[in-house]
Structure 1
Amino acid sequence: MATVKVSDSSFKTDVIDSSKPVLVDFWAEWCGPCKQIGPALEQISDELGDKITIAKVNIDDDPETPAKFHVRGIPTLMIFKDGQVVATKVGAMTKTKLQEWVEEHA
C-alpha cells in the first residue's frame, strides 16, 4: 500500500470523508527533512496500510489546503480521524518515533 497523492480538490474525499484515519504529510520538493521522512512514511504505509492511509500534499502544487490548516513549517504531519485533526507534528523524526506517534493516534 503506497502513499496517496492528495490535492486541494481531492482533499475532502480522500481525507475528510475517509472511513479510516489518514496521516497527511504536508511537504515540498525542495524540503530536505521532507525527503528524509519520505521512505519511513512509505514503510509505515506498507506495514499499517490496513489501519491508516498515508497521504501527501505538496504545498507548492496545492497551497489552499495547507493554508486552511495553518501549516507554517514543513514537514507538517497531521492525523485526521472522522474528518477532524487529532494530532499534529512538525519536523522530521525517526521511523520509530513516527510509527509510535501513528500507532498512538490511529
Structure 2
Amino acid sequence: MIQTITKENFAAEVENAGRPVLVELWAPWCVYCRRLTPVLERLSDKLGDGLPIGKINIDDEPELGQKLDASTIPTLYLYQNGQHGEKLVAPSSQAQLEEWINGQMA
C-alpha cells in the first residue's frame, strides 16, 4: 500500500510504525520521480503489508524535505524502529531498489 505522508502523520505512519517503512521524497514536476512510481507500485504489490510505502511530496511538505535532506529527488529512506539508514537517490532499476532494501533490512 502506498500512502501520502505529511508532517501531520509522519510520526505515526513512519517513526512509530512498529515495522519497516519505505519513504520516497518526490515532487510532481520531477520526471524521474514519475518514472519511479510504477516501480514503487509493483514493489508494493509484491511486498504487500510487509513493507508499507509512503510518499512525501516535497512541494507540499518542504519542512520534511529539508529535514530529510531531499536536495536531490527522488530520495528514498528505509525506516526501521523510528530511524532511517543510508539514503538511496534515483535508483536505476527495481532490482537496484530491492537490493538496497534487502541490504538495509539485513
Fold equivalence (TM over 0.5): yes
- Aligned partners of 1:82 and 1:11: how far apart in 2? 13
Alpha-carbon deviation of 1:85?
0.8
**Gapped runs of 5+ residues in structure 1?**
none
- Aligned partners of 1:56 and 1:22: how far apart in 2? 10
Stretches (4+) displaced over 6 A: none
1:62 equivalent in structure 2: 61
Q: Deviations over 1:8-65 (max 9, x none)?
A: 1111111000111111000000001101111001111111123211110000011111
Percent identity over the alignment is 36
Q: Deviations over 1:75-99 (max 9, x none)?
A: 0001110110123111142111112
- Aligned residues: CA RMSD: 1.2
Q: 1:104 to 1:51 in 2, by over 3 A?
A: farther
Output aligned runs, 1:16-27, within 5 Å: 16-27=15-26
1:33–1:92 CA contact under 8 A, matched in 2:
no
**Gapped runs of 5+ residues in structure 2?**
none
1:29 maps to amino acid: P
Output aligned runs, 1:1-106, within 5 Å: 2-106=1-105
The TM-score, its normalising length taken from structure 1, stands at: 0.92
Alpha-carbon deviation of 1:71?
1.7
Greater helix proportion: 2
- Aligned partners of 2:37 and 2:16: how far apart in 1? 24
